[in-house]
A = this chain, B = another copy of it.
Amino acid sequence: MLGASHTGRVVRRLVGKAAIVLVCDGIADRPVQDYKFKTPLEVANTPHISRLTKAGSVGIVDPIRPGVRPGSDVAHFALLGYDPYQYYTGRGSLEAEGAGITLKPGDVAFRCNFATVDENMKVLDRRAGRIRTGTSRLAKVLNKMQLEAATGVKVQFHETVEHRAVLVFSGEGISRMVSDVDPHSTGVRILKSKPLDTTEEAARTAQGLNEFVRRSFELLKGHPVNIKRAKKGKKPANIILPRGPGTLPSITPLPELYNVKAACIAAVAMVRGICKIAGMSLIDVKGATGGLNTDFLAKARAAIEASRQNDLVFVHVKACDVASHDGDFKMKVKIIEKIDEMVGLIIDKVGLSTNYFSVTCDHCTPVNVRDHTSDPVPLAIAGPDVPSSRISKFTENNAAAGNIGRIPASSLIPTLMDYLGKAEKFGF
Contacts and interface: CB of A to CB of B under 8 A. Distances in A.
A11 interface: yes
A426 B30 contact: no
Given A403-B397, A418-B373, A387 B8 contact: no
A66 B414 CA distance: 7
Interface stretch (A71-79, A197-205, A219-227, A331-339): A71-79
Interface in A377-416: 385-389, 396-397, 400-408, 411-416
Given A84-B427, A428-B71, A428-B72, A408 B66 contact: yes
Interface in A12-68: 12, 30-31, 37, 39, 60, 64-68
Nearest to A407: B66
A424 interface: yes
A88 B403 CA distance: 30
Contact of A374 (B4, B72, B375, B418): B418
Given A5-B371, A370-B11, A403-B400, A91 B414 contact: no
A360 to B, nearest CB: 13
A189 to B, nearest CB: 13
Contacts of A371: 5, 11-12, 425
Contacts of A388: 31, 37, 397
Nearest to A126: B8
Interface stretch (A99-107, A145-153, A180-188): A180-188
A121 interface: no
A4 B185 CA distance: 9
A68 B5 contact: no
Nearest to A385: B30
A404 B411 contact: no
Listed residue (A64, A372, A386) with the most chain B CB atoms within 10 angstroms of its CB: A372
A275 to B, nearest CB: 16
Given A30-B387, A387-B396, A400-B405, A374 B415 contact: yes
A232 interface: no
Contacts of A301: none
A60 B400 CA distance: 13
A426 B182 contact: no
A342 B185 CA distance: 46
A91 B428 contact: yes
Contacts of A387: 30-31, 39, 396-397
Given A7-B184, A31-B385, A69-B426, 11 more contacts: A30-B386, A39-B387, A66-B408, A68-B423, A71-B426, A73-B427, A84-B426, A374-B418, A374-B423, A375-B418, A400-B405
Contacts of A75: 427
Contacts of A416: 67
Given A8-B185, A9-B184, A387-B31, A68 B407 contact: no
A155 B152 CA distance: 55
A411 B65 contact: yes
Nearest to A92: B428
A424 B31 contact: no
- Rank and list the top 9 A-B pairs by shortest CB-CB distance, nearest first: A8-B184, A67-B414, A71-B427, A74-B427, A405-B406, A66-B411, A400-B403, A67-B415, A71-B428
Contacts of A372: 425
A404 B412 CA distance: 19
Contact of A428 (B73, B412, B428): B73
Interface string A223-251: 00000000000000000000010000000
Contacts of A405: 60, 376, 400, 405-406
Contact of A70 (B31, B60, B425): B425
A366 interface: yes
A289 interface: no
A407 B404 CA distance: 12
Interface string A348-377: 000000000000000000101111111110
Contacts of A426: 64, 68-71, 74, 84
A423 B30 contact: no
